[in-house]
Amino acid sequence: MLSIGHRGAAGHEPENTLRGVARAMRLGVDWIEVDVQLVDGELVVFHDDTLERTTNGSGAVAEQSFKALRELDAGEGETIPRLAEVLDLIDARVGLNIELKGPDCGESVTSIVGDYLERQPEWRGKILLSSFDETQTAELAGRERNFELGILFETDAEAALARARAFAAYSIHPSTKQVTAELVAEAHAAGIKVFVYTVNEPREIATMRALGVDGVFSDYPDRVGEYRG
Ligand code: G3P
Ligand code: MG
């Protein structure tokens, strides 16, 4: 079962920061997941719509200038990273799941991904794009596919699996509430991997292993390798 560092390694380090990404790599993850939004023309790595929970700023992220965002403390003195900085730091040593948070960042994300793949072919097969936004996912599916596509969802697993088949997706990303043995069997029969979010507790890690899922997103990705239940 693959270990996917959630928001870097959010249980150990400030989420969605370079420090968290570096920690996840030291912990031996297979993939790293980060959230990305387009703000002031820049792709920034950030989860929420507002600044309060994870920074010393306040207000809506979308209303900030990039310069103002970069002046904030995102935890332990970290700045909010650009997506390019995360790609540079990982350097194709592990996979990167870019979760597109805004409805409008598909073009920018696929453009930067295309640049990195051209420059560094080692990235091939190691970039996985996903979004809860179904319109954005369909739009990604229609683009030139030099990346893997993940179907991220919260409800209606059968509909998500149908979309995954229709879009020839690499993976489906159910929550722990949505995943079942039947869903795993159906996905595997269609050649689609199952990556489950967000799995932190040892017992839950054991349950996911027993269900035969292919990977789990975890704030404590080190636990995924350790805990055999
Ligand atoms: O992409 C998996 C997981 O990160 C989805 O939920 O809210 O943590 O971005 P969230
Ligand atoms: Mg996410």
Segment 44-93, tens digit of pLDDT: 999 999 999 999 999 999 999 999 999 999 999 999 999 999 999 999 99
Asked if 43 and 83 touch (Cβ cutoff 8 Å), the reply is: yes
Q: Whose CA is nearest to atom 3 of ligand 1?
A: 197
Say how many Å lie between the CA of residue 134 and the centre of ligand 1: 15
Contacts of 3 (CB under 8 A, 6+ apart): 27, 28, 29, 30, 31, 215, 216, 218, 221, 222, 224, 225
- Whole-model pTM: value is 0.98
The residue contributing the CA closest to ligand 1 atom 6 is 197
Specify the ligand 1 atom closest to the Cα of 130: 1
Residue 227 binned pLDDT confidence (cut-offs 50, 70, 90): low
Nearest CA to ligand 1 atom 1: 99
12 is catalytic: no
Tally of domains within the chain: 1
- Residue 229: pLDDT over 60: no
Question: Residue 173 catalytic?
Answer: no
**CATH code of residue 50:** 3.20.20.190
Q: Model confidence over 185-195: pLDDT tens digits?
A: 999 999 999 99
Contact yes or no for 183/160 (Cβ under 8 A): no
| pLDDT above 80 for 178 | yes
Dist CA 74 CA 76 (whole Å): 7
Range of the domain at 8: 2-227
